[in-house]
């Protein structure tokens, strides 16, 4: 469970922080929301709700891991559906999941996002481990989070190789 908590928590914390790091970053995130098919009157609310949900799930993961993993699975599923919708509509949406990026959303982002709710659900199914195994799980969770956060870079390396 701890590996999933660490992975989900880091991914959501970096995601939320990258959106509110500065006024410009938040404005860029808000400006990216319409490409997901959100009506103009709901853009600001959707952006704010997204960031608040990410921070709330991080807090839940820290204090109530079972509830946090459940909430993370739901939030990741919603975000996956939003990315899938943008990709299927062939919108011009760019990946602002973890800050500024010029990468247009594609199937690879749908796949990346679809793995995240699975990680959360698997974390719910894994029993608590002994302390040594828990430390190893936490380290693996951190490495997994780094892979998710640098996904576009890793994908480019693999495609160009």
Reported as a single tens digit per residue, the pLDDT across 19-49 is 999 999 999 999 989 988 899 999 999 999 9
Q: Is the pLDDT of residue 57 over 60?
A: yes
Q: How far apart are CA 138 and CA 16, in angstroms?
A: 21
Indicate the SS3 state at residue 141.
helix
Q: Mean pLDDT lowest for which of 34-38, 64-68, 116-120, 152-156?
A: 152-156
Q: How far apart are CA 91 and CA 144, in angstroms?
A: 29
- Within 10 Å of residue 161's Cβ, how many Cβ atoms? 5
Which pLDDT value is given to residue 14? 92
Q: Is the pLDDT of residue 11 over 90?
A: yes
Which pLDDT value is given to residue 64? 94
DSSP 126: S
Give the confidence band of 117 by pLDDT, cuts at 50, 70, 90. very high
Q: How far is CA 30 from CA 23, 79, 99, 136, in A?
A: 10, 15, 12, 38
Contact 1, 69 (CB under 8 A): yes
Q: How far apart are CA 107 and CA 103, in angstroms?
A: 12
Q: How far apart are CA 108 and CA 1, in angstroms?
A: 26
Contact 28, 95 (CB under 8 A): no
DSSP 139: H
DSSP labels for 77-103?
A: HHHHHHHHHHHHTT---B--TTS---P
Contact 69, 8 (CB under 8 A): yes
Q: Mean pLDDT lowest for which of 16-30, 65-79, 95-109, 142-156?
A: 142-156
DSSP 95: -
Q: What's the pTM?
A: 0.84
């Amino acid at each position: 469970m701890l590996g999933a908590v660490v992975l989900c928590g880091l991914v959501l914390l970096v995601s939320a922080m990258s959106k509110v790091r500065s006024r410009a970053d938040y404005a860029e995130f808000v400006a990216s929301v319409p490409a997901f098919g959100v009506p103009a009157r709901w853009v600001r609310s959707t952006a704010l709700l997204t960031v608040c949900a990410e921070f709330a799930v991080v807090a839940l993961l820290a204090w109530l891991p079972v509830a946090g993993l459940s909430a993370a699975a739901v939030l990741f599923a919603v975000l996956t559906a939003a990315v899938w919708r943008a990709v299927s509509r062939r919108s011009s949406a760019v990946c602002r999941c973890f800050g500024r990026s010029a990468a247009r959303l594609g199937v690879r982002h749908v796949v990346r996002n679809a793995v995240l709710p699975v990680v959360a659900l698997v974390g719910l199914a894994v029993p608590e481990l002994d302390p040594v195994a828990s430390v190893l799980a936490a380290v693996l969770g951190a490495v997994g989070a780094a892979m998710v956060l640098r996904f576009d870079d890793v994908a480019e390396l693999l495609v160009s190789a």
